[in-house]
């Protein structure tokens, strides 16, 4: 209504305040409204949620210290140059869920891959080798099933540098919405494990540094809860929806982070490279 009134006053000099003038103004505004072009795939003119380009706090304006009022011309010039240092390469994060494992065991050291799980990991390693991308490194969770999966994948990519991280261990990232009746971890797990998994996201998910020349391809072997949470966070979806996603064992989820801060997903839980009888989720 406020905008409507402002428009009426904009036209008052032309039409005055006569009844005919008001009708004319309304007619013009309605005509303009009817001729606004909307995208056929949206529900409105403005997006319901706008993309936050500075989600990783790596926009140049966030990385460069602001100028002081007393800055010299030399300092101002350097500031301008620093703002122009933007990344040109993309980061590809290939998230692999571990293979099937003995989930009835209580100790992590006993929760090793099953025979099927080892086969699944071998299929994934072969798939990554066939893709023949310039893989950068292989990162894995320190849990037994993830380590074993990474070991098997590494046989297909023997020259790939390796590292491990406790941040990638399985856990309860955030209370899911809607709640799931059969899965109810203690509330303290969300508090402690959720902060760790969020720390892992902030550590690994960000755009490339400005001095990175070529695209990087990092393989990350971890766990379903972690990958599902990462996916929601990276795409700026509500993170509470992570448990609505299902991932097969040893499946591939491929997330790309562009230099401008955009994030896209190439595959989610891909396992079509395995024979049907080798696919499992539990």
In order of 10, 75, 160, the CA distances from 124 in angstroms are 65, 52, 15
Mean per-residue pLDDT of the chain: 87
Question: Over the stretch 205-227, which tens digit does the pLDDT of each residue have?
Answer: 999 998 899 999 999 999 999 99
3 state DSSP class of 95: strand
Position 201 scores a pLDDT of 98
Does residue 111 have a pLDDT over 60?
Answer: yes
User: Radius of gyration of the chain from Cα atoms?
Assistant: 26
Angle at alpha carbon of residue 7, lines to 5 and 12, rounded to 5°: 95
Same-domain pairing of 139 and 164: yes
121: in domain: yes
Give DSSP secondary structure letters for 159-205: TS-EEEEGGGS----S--SS--TT----HHHHHHHHHHHHHHHHHH-
Q: Are residues 23 and 55 in the same domain?
A: no
Domain of residue 123, CATH code: 3.40.50.1240
Distance, in Å, from the CA atom of 154 to the CA atom of 135, rounded to the nearest integer, reads: 11
Task: Looking at the structure, tell me whether residues 167 and 188 fall in a common domain.
Answer: yes
Contact 146, 138 (CB under 8 A): no
Q: What percent of the chain has pLDDT over 90?
A: 66
Q: Is residue 39 part of a domain?
A: no
Dihedrals phi, psi of 267, to nearest 5 degrees: -140, 150
The 10s digit of each residue's pLDDT in 35-79 is 556 556 666 667 778 999 999 999 888 877 888 878 887 877 887
How confident is the model at residue 71, as a pLDDT? Answer: 81
Asked if the structure places residue 108 within a domain, the reply is: yes
| C-alpha to C-alpha distance for 223 and 207, rounded to whole angstroms | 23
> Does residue 195 sit in the same domain as residue 274?
yes
Residues 191 and 239 in one domain: yes
Judgement on whether residues 10 and 135 belong to the same structural domain of the protein: no
Please indicate, yes or no, whether residues 21 and 75 belong to a single structural domain of this protein. Answer: no
The domain of 29 spans 2-34
**Under 8 Å between Cβ of 247 and 223:** no
Please state the φ and ψ torsions of residue 106, each to the nearest 5 degrees: -90, -40
Confirm whether 40 is domain-assigned. no
Any bridge partners for residue 252, and if so which? 96, 270
Q: Average pLDDT in the 126-142 region?
A: 98
What would the mean pLDDT of 248-254 be, rounded to a whole number?
98
- Say what the pTM is: 0.81
> Residues 27, 143: one domain?
no
Check whether 1 has a pLDDT greater than 60.
Answer: no
Do 137 and 246 lie in a common domain? yes
CA distances from 248 to 117, 123, 139, 195 (A): 11, 13, 19, 25
Q: What is the rounded distance in angstroms from the CA atom of residue 223 to the CA atom of residue 143?
A: 9
Asked whether residue 17 carries a pLDDT value surpassing 90, the answer given is no
150-164 tens-digit pLDDT: 999 999 999 999 999
Residues, the chain, total?
Answer: 282
Together in a domain, 52 and 107: no
Work out the pLDDT band at 31, boundaries 50, 70, 90: very low
Contact 99, 145 (CB under 8 A): yes
Rounded distance between C-alpha atoms, residue 161 and residue 126, angstroms: 17
| Structural domain count, the chain | 3
| pLDDT of 4 higher than 90 | no
Highest mean pLDDT among 41-45, 118-122, 190-194: 118-122
């Amino acid at each position: 209504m406020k905008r409507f009134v402002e428009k009426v006053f904009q036209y008052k000099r032309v039409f005055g305040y006569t009844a005919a003038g008001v009708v004319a103004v309304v007619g013009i505004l309605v005509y303009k409204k009817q001729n606004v072009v909307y995208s056929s795939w949206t529900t409105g003119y403005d997006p319901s949620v706008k993309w936050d380009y500075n989600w990783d706090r790596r926009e140049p304006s966030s990385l460069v210290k602001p100028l002081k009022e007393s800055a010299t011309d030399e300092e101002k010039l350097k500031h301008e140059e620093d703002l122009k240092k933007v990344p040109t390469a993309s980061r590809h994060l290939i998230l692999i869920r571990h293979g099937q494992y003995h989930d009835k065991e209580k100790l992590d050291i006993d929760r090793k891959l099953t025979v099927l799980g080892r086969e699944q990991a071998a299929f994934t390693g072969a798939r990554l080798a066939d893709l023949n991308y310039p893989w950068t490194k292989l990162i894995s969770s320190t849990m037994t099933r993830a380590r074993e999966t990474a070991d098997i994948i590494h046989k297909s990519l023997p020259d790939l540098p390796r590292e491990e991280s406790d941040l990638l261990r399985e856990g309860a990232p955030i209370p899911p919405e809607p709640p799931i009746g059969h899965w109810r971890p203690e509330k303290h797990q969300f508090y402690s494990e959720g902060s760790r998994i969020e720390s892992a996201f902030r550590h690994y998910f960000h755009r490339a540094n400005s001095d990175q020349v070529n695209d990087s391809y990092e393989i990350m072997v971890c766990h379903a809860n972690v990958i599902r949470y990462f996916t929601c966070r990276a795409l700026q979806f509500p993170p509470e929806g992570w448990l609505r996603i299902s991932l097969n064992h040893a499946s591939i989820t491929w997330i790309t982070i562009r230099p401008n801060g955009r994030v896209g997903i190439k595959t989610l839980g891909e396992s079509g490279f395995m024979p049907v009888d080798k696919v499992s989720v539990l």
